[in-house]
A and B are shown apart, each in its own frame.
Chain A
């Protein structure tokens, strides 16, 4: 089975801190995604990447950036954390850009910004 690993399950940060969320997948998937999940709002796409060093904005990229230096690793960066970025962050990956794909998620990082 595909394994998508997020480095932290829980994080508590202060307003203004720079925050790094790391995600690694072990199945040589081309595509990787970052979502945030909030009650009543569902899953919203922040950024995604189809290849190393490539990134595309999702629906809510403001306040975030990403880095993909290696195929297996996709990092989400909060340059200056704010309280409205308190959320569950989910990393996901899929094999390639085909039209019949499966999306696999990590266990999530619950981020609290105080």
Chain B
């Protein structure tokens, strides 16, 4: 099945720094979802985006639905140790009904 491109694959940052990551595709999406997954756990939904250009925040997290509808961005401000985990995106294709496609994830490490 199709997958999204997600970058970076991994990142090491200092506590307090801001983080940016993105997902891209050659296809147009109706919906973008951002998840965080801790080791051995299921993904937890962080932010849902439904409209091109939409900017949505959830605490220190901000995500944007790209204008072209082919990409999305997630920013984390003032990172803290509990931000450690894998962040991945999911997109619902324009004409793919209910099914979602997923990015491979960005592994975030926060150094104290």
Contact = CB atoms under 8 A, between A and B. Distances in A.
A98 B99 CA distance: 10
Contacts, number: 58
Interface stretch (A12-20, A67-75, A76-84, A103-111): A103-111
Interface size class of A (residues with CB under 8 A): 20 to 34
Interface in B71-112: 88, 90, 92, 97-100, 102-105
A108 B39 CA distance: 11
A41 B79 CA distance: 28
Contacts of A34: none
Contact of A105 (B30, B31, B42, B99): B42
Interface residues of B, number: 25
B98 A44 contact: no
B104 A42 contact: yes
B102 A42 contact: yes
A45 interface: yes
Contact of B44 (A31, A59, A105): A105
Contacts of B33: 102-103
The 10 A-B pairs with the shortest beta carbon distances in the complex, nearest first, are: A59-B1, A105-B42, A108-B42, A43-B102, A107-B42, A99-B30, A100-B50, A42-B104, A105-B43, A97-B98
